[in-house]
Amino acid sequence: MKDFPAVLIVPRQSPPWAKISEQYVSSGRYRAELFIPSELPPGFPNDLERRIDLWNTTFRLDFFSCRARLAQIALESWDAVDNAVIPADTDPQSIATLARESPETLVCYVDDDDWFAPNLAIMLREHVNQRATAVRWGAPLFNGKWQFRFVPRVGSRQFVSLYRKARANPKLERVYRRTIAMLPGPHSVVPAGNILYTNNYALTQRFLDHYPTFSPAADHCHATDLFLSNNLPLQSLPTLLLSLTNKHPCSAGVLSYAATGEDPKRTLRQYVKQYVTSGTRVTMPRKLGWARRLIGQTVELFSEAL
């Protein structure tokens, strides 16, 4: 039998940022069809070009060059993972074939700007229960400061369902948030509206006992809905911090926040300044020491943009 990696790191489809950046730097123009889908998926902003123009007229480093650098930083983190492979062919059937040929192979999907720990594969091989169809671990995010999503070992579906209901009532949501914030720990804990996030879960070969490929769980929002609607075995390892969601200033959420302000340029510039200041001074949690270099590179990038 062929030797297969413990983990397949599968990047989700993303725009060719380096190509778009090169085109924009040389001509001042860009082809929107390279990064805006013809049919907008749920949650995708319908005014992204306006937001990008806001960025490009505010900073010294254009939006596309920032995204290209962020993608390169992320790729470096994936390349550093021991006993993992980034497959050249990400076709769903090809990924399923690789997993079927090696039952211990785990499949980790990831966005083009998020990071993995170098010991991702080693730790998963040590802890994963192969009877599970998926395993998830801690879900920290960095946005200039640390936040840790609420990832309980048991009752994960119930807690997420409860929070989704609470969000419909502002008073209940405040109570829920306050309760979660009281959890012991040195860092901010925030409610989780999903079970699975961009790169804090792996799919096992057992998933293929229920579906022909991993496609139904390739997107983390779809994966959450899938696991909320059925009883597929899901293993939780909340004390493992094997990945990081990179909530950088070029994210759609930040651009949306700035675009709704009375002075969008000023709002966006202030946000990026605060991000750089906080990121420069941030204290690294011991378990996330592996991300120190990645955060340093990211903070330096946005410092250059100012």
Least confident of 16-20, 46-50, 129-133, 208-212: 46-50
**Tokens of residue 22, six digits:** 């090169």
Band of pLDDT at residue 49, cut at 50, 70 and 90: confident
Cα separation, 28 vs 32, whole angstroms: 13
- pLDDT value of residue 31: 83
> Domain limits of the chain?
1-306
Cα separation, 148 vs 188, whole angstroms: 6
More confident residue, 210 or 184: 210
- The values of phi and psi at residue 193, to 5°, are -90, -5
- pLDDT value of residue 1: 36
- Mode of pairing for the β-strands spanning 134-137 and 234-237: parallel
Band of pLDDT at residue 4, cut at 50, 70 and 90: low
205-250 per-position pLDDT tens digit: 999 999 999 999 999 999 999 999 999 999 999 999 999 999 999 9
Band of pLDDT at residue 257, cut at 50, 70 and 90: confident
DSSP code at position 194: -
Least confident of 168-172, 229-233, 256-260: 256-260
pTM (2 decimals)? 0.92
Q: Is 20 helix (H, G, I), strand (E, B) or coil?
A: helix
